Amino acid sequence: MANIYSYRDANIRKTYLIFTVFLIVIIGLGFVFSQIYGNSLILVVAVIFSVVSSFVSYWYSDKISLAVSGAKPIEKEDAPELYRTVENLAITSGLPTPKIYIVPEAAPNAFATGRDPQHASIAVTAGLLQMMNKTELEGVIAHELSHVSNRDILVSSVVVVLVGTISLLANWLLNSFFWGGMENERDNGALGLVVGLVLAIVAPIVATIIQLAISRKRELLADASGALLTRYPEGLISALEKIEQTDLPLRRANSATAHLWLSDPYRGGKSVSLAQKLFMTHPPIDERIAALKKMEG
């Protein structure tokens, strides 16, 4: 079985691969439409847009995620048990202690963000602190620290911004069809318009499916890595069971940050069809629990 360090190294390589693939897709879209419209400036704009988006995703995605979720920074005296749990597990995993935030939400949930272990943050909801006992809280924090150690937070932050870039670019191109479609058809022919239209529709869908598949795999790896860190899978199992049984909505849920949370803020944890699973940010909770129970044996 691969260890936590091989997961980390694989995710670092995956980050560069994802950067490359999404940049190619964005530049490819720009090139196709520059040919259709006979305007090379479109390609230049696409390249500049993708580079700027990648820069923003690397340096500022953590601040954006924390602001969107309404997370508030805390000191040790504000939540001493939470602080001790994070510090102890960070020491055990060989990581710097991340900044700690609380989200004023009743729904039990948590997330980690930041581009590397030196700039990581962990946020937990007020509801999670109230609902979880010590071992369950340790299981949750170990899961989130595993995201930090495995470099998952960098991968997810980069992916969400680049997928958003592709969606924005495709939407802009689609709008250009509706506003200037007849002129384009006369200048470039119907075939070029059809190809461009298909690309503009399909590209963001494919990019989103790839993003969600990466997100689901990250969660399973973090579950396994977190259980290895605490040597007690039952803690996270019990926490996930409590979350599964809770119907409280996450009021600050946002589609751009849904993949960061411990559990999907929009969907329940029950089994779903294969088609539904393609568009889920997380594996169903019952599947995650089943995988963790195998580790107990």
Buried-state track 254-292, b at ≥16 Cβ within 10 A, e below 16: eeebbbbbbbbbebbbeebeeeebeebbbbbbbbbbebb
Q: Given this model, what pLDDT does residue 133 score?
A: 97
HEC string of 182-237 equals HHHHHHHCHHHHHHHHHHHHHHHHHHHHHHHHHHHHHHHHHHHHHHHHHCCHHHHH
**Predicted confidence (pLDDT) per residue in 155-196, tens digit:** 776 676 667 667 766 777 666 666 555 455 445 556 556 666
Q: How far apart are CA 192 and CA 261, in angstroms?
A: 41
Best CA proximity match to 243, nearest among 153, 121, 137: 137
- Catalytic annotation on 136? no
144, 219, 234, 287: the catalytic one is 144
Best CA proximity match to 264, nearest among 276, 252, 280, 279: 280
Whole-model pTM: value is 0.78
Q: How far apart are CA 279 and CA 26, in angstroms?
A: 22
Q: Given this model, what pLDDT does residue 192 score?
A: 56
Q: Please list the rounded mean pLDDT of every run of 10 residues in the chain (297 residues).
A: 58 70 74 72 72 74 88 94 96 94 95 89 96 97 93 71 70 65 50 64 75 81 90 95 88 80 73 63 88 78
Q: Given this model, what pLDDT does residue 26 score?
A: 72
